[in-house]
Structure 1
Amino acid sequence: MQTSHETSLNLKLEQVATILRVASWVSFVLQIGLASLASVLLLLAISGRSFNQAIAPSVRVPNVGIAPTQTTTPGLGIAIFWAVCGILVLLFGSYLAFRLIRFSKRLGNSNPAIHPKRAKVMQVLRLGVITGLVGMLLMILGMGATVGVLLSKSIAQPQGVAIYDPNRIIRSLDVFVAAANTTGLTAHFVGVVVSLGVFNWLHRP
């Protein structure tokens, strides 16, 4: 027959397992979903750039004749690079959330021998916070590069006249890169909030 101490311990483990499972599933689903959305936006931007390079149209400028177009936006390459790095880090963060889901299942088992050690759970949570912060930094760098390109284009656009220089036109593909970085930044933020929240909850007295 279980003592009151054993019953209290079992209830505590069950509560920890439930909190860990719910929080990890929320983090995992949101990170995977947002990572997929960011990847699609980035693929659209990259494929659009490649398509533009393939067709390479020319523009007829009045009083000038045929002028070659600029098929890619200068400066966006580095923004795409940071976004790709951020998505890769986001996938690693999703893997950490999946590990926490596995830990929660082991905690819910009646056999204490397979329960994960507290130090191991805390280590994965701490790594999740660090991963999210690194990912946020990468996405912020990508977002900064994209905003810099869009700002330079908007400043270079003449007001009230037709624009014949393709370098000055803000295209939807440029905005896709900004949207991808923003989506990735949101996903990393979710991962940090969940990991930090569970970490602090386990440390409460």
Structure 2
Amino acid sequence: MQIESEARSLPPETRGIGNTIRLTGWITLWSQLAIGVVSVFALLFALTGRRFVQQQNVGLSIGIFWAVCGIVLLLFSLYWDFRYTRIGKALENHNPALHPSKPDTTKILRLGIIVGLVGILLTLLGASSTMFVLMAKSISQTPGVAISDPYRIIRPMDVFVAVADITGIAAHFVGTVASLWLLERVHQH
């Protein structure tokens, strides 16, 4: 009986924004996790393929470095998505003393946007350096190059580095869009 009266005393707007933040946090977490797993597997395929190659390509090493940096930042972004779920749950709590303040919630959402944008930047650096290497290899190929110089061909390992970087960009994009959308919802509240 007392819980029902407390539920009625909780403004529906607060309950609604809490539910929105919580659900968006879960959806974003699982979406970023799924895309991030693809990025990690592509990077693992590229790294295991590099062990079998005698001549390493420095340009791809830079792309791999930035992809790893993007994945590390993606792990932080996943933690931040989980934090969104906890903020949403706190806003749905019947005790107003446990509700995070609007400035605190806004600050957390802004940090999520910054993390997403930095992640996009890092993985864009990796993707651009990898694409430059792939373009240079494709331009330098002549007919019959696979027979005369096998190190100048585009190998599947090279493409996996590009896939890791591009899926990293997609994962960070999802997180950034979700944080921007939540920030807009909080400002409307």
Deviations 1:78-128 (A, max 9, x none): 000000001111111111111010111111111112112222211110000
Aligned with 1:78 (options 37, 58, 62): 62
CA radius of gyration, larger in: 1
DSSP 3-state at the match of 1:75: helix
Distance 1:40 1:18 in 2: 33
Identity of aligned residues (%): 44
Distance 2:41 2:48 in 1: 10
The 8 Å contact of residues 17 and 185 in structure 2, kept in 1 or not, is answered as: no
**TM-superposed deviation, 1:33:** 1.4
Which residue number in structure 2 is paired with residue 34 of structure 1? 35
**TM-superposed deviation, 1:7:** 5.4
Which residue number in structure 2 is paired with residue 177 of structure 1? 161
Give aligned pairs, total. Answer: 183
Which residue number in structure 1 is paired with residue 105 of structure 2? 121
Residue 173 (structure 2) pairs with residue 189 (structure 1): yes
Residue 88 (structure 2) pairs with residue 88 (structure 1): no
Residue 144 (structure 2) pairs with residue 157 (structure 1): no
Please state which structure has a larger fraction of its residues in helix. Answer: 2
Q: Structure 1: which 5+ residue stretches go unaligned? A: 57-69
The 8 Å contact of residues 145 and 153 in structure 2, kept in 1 or not, is answered as: no
TM-score by length of 1: 0.84
Which residue number in structure 2 is paired with residue 67 of structure 1? none
The 8 Å contact of residues 102 and 186 in structure 2, kept in 1 or not, is answered as: no
Aligned with 2:114 (options 123, 126, 130): 130
**TM-superposed deviation, 1:22:** 1.4
Residue 158 (structure 2) pairs with residue 143 (structure 1): no
Which residue number in structure 2 is paired with residue 64 of structure 1? none
Deviations 1:153-186 (A, max 9, x none): 0011003x34321221100000000000000000
The 8 Å contact of residues 150 and 174 in structure 1, kept in 2 or not, is answered as: yes
Q: Which amino acid in the other structure matches residue 76 of structure 2?
A: F
Higher RCO (CA 8 Å, separation ≥ 6 residues): 2
C-alpha spacing 1:104/1:112, structure 2 compared with 1 (3 Å): same
C-alpha spacing 1:8/1:199, structure 2 compared with 1 (3 Å): farther
The 8 Å contact of residues 73 and 174 in structure 1, kept in 2 or not, is answered as: no
Distance 2:89 2:178 in 1: 18
Q: Structure 2: which 5+ residue stretches go unaligned? A: none
Deviations 1:8-29 (A, max 9, x none): 8520111001111111111111
**TM-superposed deviation, 1:42:** 0.4
